[in-house]
Structure formats: C-alpha cells, structure tokens
Structure 1
Amino acid sequence: MTNQSEVKTINWGGIIGLGNIANKFASDLLTIPNTKLYAVASRSQEKADLFADKYDATHAYNSYEALVKDKNIDAVYIATPHALHKENTLLCLEHGIAVLCEKPFAMDANEVSSMIAKAKEKKRVTHGSTLDILFTTLSICFKGTEK
C-alpha cells in the first residue's frame, strides 16, 4: 500500500467556469487528500479572485487561455455553459492538460468524437460524466449482438 506522503499532490489547475456547480466541485475537492486547487479561471478577474480566495487556490486567471499556459497544472475541471464544453476541452488538451468535463460532455456525437480524438492524440484523459451513462446504455442495448 502506498503511503499518503509518497503520493504526488495533484494540482487541479483547476476550474474553468466558476458558477454554482464549480462551487460544489471545489468544496468537494478540498476533502480529498493530496489534491490542491491550484488555479481557477473566469472571464472576470474579480470573480476569479473571489473564487480563489474562497477555496484557497494559488492562482486566479481572467482568461482560460492564461490558465492553460501554466505548466504546473495537472488537470482541469470544465464547468462552463454546455455549448462551450468542446471548445474548452480542446483548449486544455492542446496544452497537454487532462480534463474532467461537467455534463453534458458535449452537444452532439461529432463533438464527442473530436474531443476523444484530441485526447488520444495528446495522450491525455478527457472524461465527461455523461459518457458513463452513454457507454453503459450502449453496452446493455448491444449486448449479444456482436458477431
């Protein structure tokens, strides 16, 4: 068994989009050992500063582009409006950052395909909670139909 002191601290670089669901994620994140809310990003510097202060994040950025350029970020949680999930996910993946995307993961199957393709290309993880339901449903629907 690994000693907690030997486990690398994960720098959640954090959170892109600082609405209600981001508050829930941040408060839950603080309960996990070896996890740090390293940075947050909003289009408003004031909102980013307030959120960072509330959850003890080290950095507050006023643009998503500035956040993804920070080399100390291991993973990002995307909590922006649904129509921006693909754009924000691809931005993070392009900079080599793993992504956890709030549901819905994307607006349609084509967006999901492009997001997964970019994750494979960059050898990074991207995940949306909606995918769990989708893949479970598909496996149940098509079970026994394979040749």
Structure 2
Amino acid sequence: MNTRTQGFTLIELLVVIAIIGVLAAILLPTFSDAQKRPNDTAALQCGRAIVAFQATANLTRGSYASALTDMGPDVQESCTTAGVSVALNNVRADNPGAGVSQAVSTSATNYAFQVFHPRGTGYYLFNQESATSTGERLNRLYRW
C-alpha cells in the first residue's frame, strides 16, 4: 500500500508568500496616503475660511487681519479646532514639524499665508496678488 502525504510543497508556499509581499508593498503606501488626505482637506478648508474672512474684513475694517485669533469663529473652527497650522508666507513650512506663528502676512493691499496639517502630505500657499496659474491660490498641494 502506497500512501502519499497531501500538502503544499516548499516552493508553492514560497510563491504564495512572495505574492503576498508584493501586494503588501503596493497597497500599504496607498493606504497610508488615504489616511492623510482628510488632513490635507482640513488644511484647504482652513485656507478657504481665511480667504472668505479676509474678503469681508477688508471691506468692513479697511484692512486685513493678521492674527488667526482676530478672524472670527468660522476661521477658528476650520483652523484651530481642526489642528491645522497657519504660517506666514515667507516662512518655510515645508515639513510637518515646521514652526508656525498662526498668523497671516498682511500689507495694505495684500495678504498671504501657508496652511498645512502636521499629519497631512503637504501644504497649500495663498497669495492674494498671485495669478491662479502660479499655484499660490490654494489650488496646488505642495508635497513635503
């Protein structure tokens, strides 16, 4: 009587492990970026709230507000409550640990800032005097 043990060979098991490894290498970076995208969206919403506030502030006050604390509850909710950081336009905020002032660069005719979430994938720029094509009107995410 000839009995044969049923099971997988070593080669078959190694092939399966290799396939699982390749799939994991492909899917894990995609999954981690998917977790960071909501933080980038929060930064964009913060930037839009600042732009909306500044548009009305210049009309009602005659000047732009520079401190986030002077920008009202909508900006506070969109920025501070959401954990978004705001940096002056001339300060490099090109990494998640960048020091920020939670303020906006202002002049008589312009305002500019950078917004980012420390757990996001990059930062957005806004400069009121820039053309849209420059990427400085909250229309481009600059990756870290």
- Judge same fold: TM > 0.5, yes or no: no
Q: How would you bin the TM-score normalised by the shorter chain?
A: under 0.3
- Looking at CA atoms only, which structure, 1 or 2, has the larger radius of gyration? 2
